Every structure is written in structure tokens, then in C-alpha cells.
Amino acid sequence: MILAKDDPLLPAMTPLGQHSLFDLHDCDAAKLSDRDVVREAMLEAVRQSGGTIVADIFHQFSPHGVSGVVVIAESHLTIHTWPERSFAAVDLFTCGTTLDHSKVESLVAAALGATRVDAKTVPRG
Amino acid sequence: MILAKDDPLLPAMTPLGQHSLFDLHDCDAAKLSDRDVVREAMLEAVRQSGGTIVADIFHQFSPHGVSGVVVIAESHLTIHTWPERSFAAVDLFTCGTTLDHSKVESLVAAALGATRVDAKTVPRG
């Protein structure tokens, strides 16, 4: 089925959101242990990708590991780190097309020293 | 391959986290428009499921729609709502097995009047 750009069916068929899951492997364990480093990596990735940061929460866990959330306008970016496994689980949810998922992925991966990323994107809605 | 319970390979093969994506369809539009209703639905689902709430951020968007994040101990629960489509996108990330994903899904869906949920769970790490 080919639809014209103004076909009334089109809005109903376009996903409302895009949700990417990034598994960051072989990261720098020292960076994953440091709340401030992880927070700055996440905020800077959003800033450089043109996102509007609404709020953020980052927590350091004992004995190690950081969890954090950046609320972006109608979107979010989260992270959970396991320094002992050099692993971090990141997810990026966006509405609209302003934020480039690949760019956010590359920036966070580079900042945390990841050498391998498994990424998948799931349309939502 | 069958491994003994104490096989040294086992920890390396067990996912570090579980990530569920819940697409809530045919929700009550008035509830999806109300920041306080959405926030209470999310917090109550975590409480009733035995999660430890660390912090939360919920925002009402103009002209309508709510985005929110609950940071749970080493986990998170987020939501983005589209009242005009009676739709909400929820995601739940957990480490460990304390939090029952199905229970959180049912509680949030019931509180927001969803009649249909598409759910998928992705192992992380």
C-alpha cells in the first residue's frame, strides 16, 4: 500500500515513539564506577545531540555501580552500570525526530570507553 | 549444554538485567492527561510490587501528555502518555528478581484503564 503524504491513515500508522536499547560492553570500569563521569557522559550526549534536558537523577550504589535518568523534553535517557563486568545498559526513548539515536549511542559509548555496543530500536505505539 | 548450579560459566551467562516494554492501548484519556493520576499509578505499582523508590520526576506537557520516571533501587520505571491516542508507553528495567514485571504491568494498566497491553521483555547484559 502506497500512501500520499497527506493520507489520513498516515498519522495512525506512524509510531509515536522510538525506543533504543544500547548494551555497552568492555567499558572502562573506573568510569562506570564514577557517578560524576557517568552523569556528564549522559548529559553531554543529550546536549551535543540537540536534546532539551528537563531534569536528571544519578545515584551511586554500594559497593559499586551507577544508575541514572535524564528526562529530556517528552523523552528520556537512562543508564545502569556494572563496573565489575565493564558493562552498561542504556536506553533512549524519544518522540519526534529531533534526537539522533545513533549519535547519542556513539557519544555515550565513546565517553565510557565501550569497545562493543549491541543496539536495538523498537517502535512504540 | 547443561550446566551444574555451581558451574563457573553460569554467572557469565545470566543476564544482568531484565527490560520490559509495555504498550498500553485504549487507556482512559482523562487519566493519561493528569500528571497526579499518572504519577500515583506508577508509584503505587512499584510499592505494591515491593520495589524501593529512590526518586521520581513527572512532567505535564502542553497541550497534553505526561512523562515520568521512577528511579527504583538499581532499576527504573518510566512512562510517556498520549491522551489524544489513549496510548501510553511504559518501560521497566530491573536488576535481580525482586520486582515482578507482570505485576507492575497489570497494576499500571488497571490504574490507567488500559484494555490491551503489548508487552515484550528483553534480557540485558
Give SS3 for B40.
helix
Cβ-based contacts of B71 with chain A (< 8 Å): 57, 59, 67, 69
Give SS3 for B8.
coil
What would the pLDDT profile of B77-97 be if each residue is shown by its tens digit? 999 999 999 999 999 999 877
Residues 6 to 25 of B: which have CB under 8 A from any A CB?
A: 16-17, 19, 21, 23
What would the pLDDT profile of B1-44 be if each residue is shown by its tens digit? 455 555 655 555 678 899 999 999 999 999 999 999 999 999 99
In chain A, what percentage of residues exceed pLDDT 90? Answer: 74
Cβ-based contacts of A17 with chain B (< 8 Å): 80, 89
**Can you give the pTM of this predicted structure?**
0.87
Residue B38 in grid coordinates: 499518572
Could you write out the DSSP letters of every residue in chain A?
----TT-THHHHHS-SEEEEEEEEES--HHHHH-HHHHHHHHHHHHHHTT--EEEEEEEE-SSS-EEEEEEETTEEEEEEEEGGGTEEEEEEEEESSSS-HHHHHHHHHHHTT-SEEEEEEEEE-
Nearest to B31 by CA among B113, B104, B94: B113
What would the pLDDT profile of A21-40 be if each residue is shown by its tens digit? 999 999 999 999 999 999 99
Residues 27 to 86 of A: which have CB under 8 A from any B CB?
A: 54-55, 57, 59, 61, 65, 67, 69, 71, 73-76, 78, 80, 82, 85
Q: What is the ipTM of this complex?
A: 0.84
Please state, as a whole number, how many other Cβ atoms lie within 10 Å of the Cβ of residue A95: 22
The dihedral built from the CA positions of residue B103, B104, B110 and B114, taken in this order, carries a sign that is: negative
The dihedral built from the CA positions of residue B34, B35, B38 and B44, taken in this order, carries a sign that is: negative
Confidence (pLDDT) at B70? 95
